[in-house]
Amino acid sequence: MAILSNFLTRRGAALLATWRIWRDTLRFAGKATLTACAPSAYNSATRTVVMKQIFFTAWQILPGFTLFAALLSFVLIQIVVTTATRFGLSDYALEVSMRVLVLELLPLITALFVALRSGSAINTEVALMKIQGEIEALEDAGVDTLRLEFMPRVIGGMISVLALTAVTSVLALVLAYLAVYGLQLWSFPDFTRVMGKVFDMPVMMGILLKSLAFGLAVTVIPVAEGLATPRKMFMAPISVLRGMVRLFFALMLIEVASLAFKYI
Amino acid sequence: MADDASRRAFISEHHDTILVSPDMPLRANLSVLDNIALIPQYLANLDYEAAADQAWTLLLLAGQEGAAVKRDPDLSHEERFVAKLLRAAIGNPPVILVDRPGMLLPDTHYPPYLFNLLEKLADSLNDCWILDYRWNEPLYPPR
C-alpha cells in the first residue's frame, strides 16, 4: 500500500509540475502577446532586440536553409511527379506536391529548424540569465525584462518563421513549375489556375495561422522554460532538454491539429 | 552592518535604490558600453547613438574607456565594478547602493579606489552609499 501511495504521490507531483509549467507558458504567451500589441512597448532598445533576433534566426541561416529546402522540395516534387505519371495521375501531380510541401512539410521543417537552432539558444540564454541573476539586475535598474528581453524575441521569432516559410514556399512553387512544365512560360496560366484551386482563402488563412502558432511556440516555450529554471548552474542543461522536448511536442500538436482541422 | 541578514534587511528596506552588487551581474552577451547604454535607450527612449554617447562620456570620466568593447568574462574586477557603477549611474537615480565593495574589488585596496572613482564621477552621481561589514570600518577614512 505504501509503495502504491508513494508511486501515486510521485506521479501526482510530476503531473502537477508539468501542469504548472504549461500554465506558466500560456500565461507568458498571453503577457507577451498583450505587450506586443501595445505601441508604447516599442522603443529603440526593443527594436534593436527584435532586429538582432531576426538577424540570428532568419537572416544568418537564409542561404543554407534555402538551399536545403530547395533540395528537399526538388526531390519530393520529382518523387510525386514521377509516381503520379506512373499511375496515370499526372494532372494531380502539381496539386499533390504543393499540398504536401507548401501546406504541410515546409512550415513544419522551418519551425523545427528554427526550434533546433534558435529555440535551444534562446532557452539556454534565458536559463543562464535567470541562474546568474541578470534578469534581476536589469529589473533593479528599472528595465522591464518582458518588454526589453522576451517580447522582442517572440516577435522576432514569429517574423523569422513566417519569413522563412514564405521564402521556402515560393521557392517550392518555382521548382514545382519547373518540374511539371519545364523551363518555359506558356503554361503559367495553367499553373496559376491549379494554385488558385489549392490556395483558396481559408487555406491561406490556415497556413498563416499555423506559421504564426509555430513562430509563437519556438520562442515562447524556450523563454518560459528558461524563466522557470531554478537558480542552480547544473539545471541549465536540464532546462534546455525539457524546453526542447516540450517544444517538439507542441510543434507536433500544432501540426496534428492543423491536419485534423483541414482533413477530418 | 553586522551580518548577511542585516545586509539583506537593509537592501529590502531601501528598494528604491539602485544596487551595485556582486549579485547583480552585467548582461553577459553585451559589451560594457552596450550594458551602460541600454539603460537610457530603454528608460529614456534614446536612440542607440545618443545612449552610447552618454555611456562613453561616463566611461571617459571613470578612466575606463579601454573596457568599452569588452564583455563580462574579459573584464578585470575593477573594469567590471566600474561598468556596474556606471550602469547604475546613467539612470540618474537618487541613491546608488554599493553592496560589499570588498567582494566587487577583491584585488584592490578598495576604499581609496572607491573614493577616487566617486570623486571623478561626482557630477554624474546624486548620492552613493557604501554597504560594508562592520569589521571593515577601519578601512574607511573617518567622516
Residue B5: its pLDDT value, please? 81
Residue in A with minimal Cα distance to B16: A140
The number of folded domains in chain A is: 1
Residue A4 lies in a domain: no
Residue A3 lies in a domain: no
Chain-centre distance for alpha carbon B107: 17
> Does B132 or B59 have the greater pLDDT score?
B59
> pLDDT class for B51, splitting at 50, 70, 90?
very high
* Most distant CA atoms of chain A, gap in Å: 78
Residue A115 lies in a domain: yes
Please identify which residue in the block is written with the cell numbers 499533390.
Answer: A96
Across residues B123-141, what is the average pLDDT?
A: 85
What part of A 95-134 touches B (C-beta under 8 Å)? 125, 128-129, 132-134
Residue A91: its pLDDT value, please? 81
Residue A221 lies in a domain: yes
CA B17 – CA A74 distance, rounded (Å): 61
Residue A17 lies in a domain: no
**CATH level 3 topology of B4-139:** Rossmann fold (3.40.50)
Q: Say how many C-beta atoms besides its own lie within 10 A of residue A264's C-beta.
A: 5
Please judge whether B42 and A43 are an interchain contact, meaning their C-beta atoms are less than 8 angstroms apart: yes
Q: How far apart, in Å, are the Cα atoms of B24 and each of A134, A246, B27, B88? A: 6, 31, 9, 11
The candidate with the shortest Cα–Cα distance to A164, out of A215, A117, A214, A110, is A110
Residue B143: its pLDDT value, please? 60
In this prediction, the residues of chain A whose per-residue pLDDT falls under 70 are: none
Please judge whether B87 and A141 are an interchain contact, meaning their C-beta atoms are less than 8 angstroms apart: yes
Q: Å from B63 to nearest chain A CA? A: 23
Chain-centre distance for alpha carbon A247: 9
Residue B136: its pLDDT value, please? 84
For residue A122, the enclosing domain spans: 27-32+41-263
Q: Nearest Cβ partner of A44 from B25, B45, B91?
A: B45
Regarding pTM above 0.90, the answer is no
Residue A21 lies in a domain: no
Residue A120: its pLDDT value, please? 95
CA B87 – CA B33 distance, rounded (Å): 9
Q: Say how many C-beta atoms besides its own lie within 10 A of residue A55's C-beta.
A: 12
Residue in A with minimal Cα distance to B48: A44
What is the overall mean pLDDT for chain B? 89
Residue A22 lies in a domain: no
Residue in B with minimal Cα distance to A41: B42
Q: Å from A228 to nearest chain B CA? A: 19
Q: Nearest Cβ partner of A140 from B24, B26, B48?
A: B24
Please judge whether A48 and B48 are an interchain contact, meaning their C-beta atoms are less than 8 angstroms apart: yes
Which residues of chain B neighbour A138 with C-beta distances below 8 Å?
27
Q: Nearest Cβ partner of A148 from B23, B42, B88?
A: B42
SS3 of B131, please?
strand
> Does B143 or A67 have the greater pLDDT score?
A67
Residue A97 lies in a domain: yes
Residue B141: its pLDDT value, please? 75
A142 touching chain B per CB within 8 A: yes
> pLDDT class for B78, splitting at 50, 70, 90?
very high
